[in-house]
């Protein structure tokens, strides 16, 4: 199943990236010569997405100028200038701008990956194929901590043999990190509150109903949360570029 609509969460303040984010929104910080949000947008375009909602708040004018020059995607702005809605509230508001009857991909603007195997379906394509709305609230892209750069070392979930996810507890087998991409039906958040809230509420609800499942990321996952994380990320990107 080709998913043609998506949302990119890009409205955060990026406080840990200061002083860089004093003048530049975090999604526009360049890593390896490319704005972080462009890694997400390129991955979505490659997977067949044609329409993308992007929420904006911090340095929103810069974000809108950058997005106006993106080619090959119909970009819709979800404006949070007046009030930052947190991950859940921002997603719930943005999904209202998409078709509620078909699945959507969701990505964080500041988490990305490199080194996907050539000649195989991409991570997002496999994630879309994994999603079954009859048995799942969400299918989530996950990665083993050993294949990450810039992460804090903490695992988020444990993945069962069938892909079912539960919150990680020390000693659990098959620990994984949430890689910042998921698939859902937009209507899943139709009961969301109007005020800001964290998306973890829906993760926990899906776990309780055994309706949260994972798909393993192929390649190497990067997160750049502080200025000190820029150099290691760029070194990893350079390494993969030399090997390809």
Peptide bond just before 170 cis, omega within 30 deg: no
What is residue 181's predicted lDDT score, i.e. its pLDDT? 97
The pLDDT value recorded for residue 39 is: 95
Question: How does DSSP classify residue 164?
Answer: B
Amino acid 96: pLDDT: 96
> Which pLDDT does position 147 carry in this prediction?
92
- For residues 54 and 10, is the Cβ–Cβ distance under 8 A? yes
Q: Which residues of the chain have pLDDT under 50?
A: none
Contacts with 25 (C-beta within 8 Å, 6 or more apart), sequence order: 10, 14, 56, 58, 59, 60, 62, 63
Q: Note the pLDDT tens digit of each residue in 107-135.
A: 999 899 999 998 899 999 999 999 999 99
Model confidence pLDDT, tens digit, residues 76-119? 999 999 988 999 999 999 999 999 999 999 999 989 999 999 88
Give pTM, 2 decimals.
0.94
In the chain, what are the domains?
5-243 (3.90.550.10)
């Amino acid at each position: 199943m080709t998913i043609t609509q998506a949302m990119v969460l890009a409205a955060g303040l990026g406080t840990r990236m200061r002083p860089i984010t004093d003048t530049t929104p975090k999604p526009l910080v360049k890593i390896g010569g490319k704005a972080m949000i462009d890694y997400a947008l390129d991955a979505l375009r490659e997977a067949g997405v044609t329409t993308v909602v992007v929420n904006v708040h911090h340095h929103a004018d810069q974000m809108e100028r950058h997005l106006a020059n993106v080619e090959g995607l119909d970009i819709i702005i979800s404006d949070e200038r007046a009030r930052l809605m947190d991950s859940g509230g921002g997603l719930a508001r943005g999904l209202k701008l998409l078709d509620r009857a078909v699945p959507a991909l969701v990505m964080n603007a500041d988490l990305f990956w490199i080194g996907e195997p050539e000649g195989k379906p991409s991570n997002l394509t496999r994630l879309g194929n994994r999603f079954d709305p009859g048995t799942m609230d969400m299918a989530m892209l996950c990665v083993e901590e050993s294949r990450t750069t810039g992460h804090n070392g903490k695992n988020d979930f444990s993945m069962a043999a069938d892909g079912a996810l539960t919150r990680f507890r020390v000693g659990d087998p098959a620990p994984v990190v949430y890689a910042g991409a998921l698939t859902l039906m937009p209507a899943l958040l139709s009961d969301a509150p109007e005020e800001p809230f964290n998306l973890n509420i829906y993760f926990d609800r899906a776990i309780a109903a055994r309706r949260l499942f994972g798909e393993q990321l192929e390649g190497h996952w990067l997160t750049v949360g502080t200025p000190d994380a820029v150099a290691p990320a760029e070194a990893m990107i350079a390494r993969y570029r030399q090997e390809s």
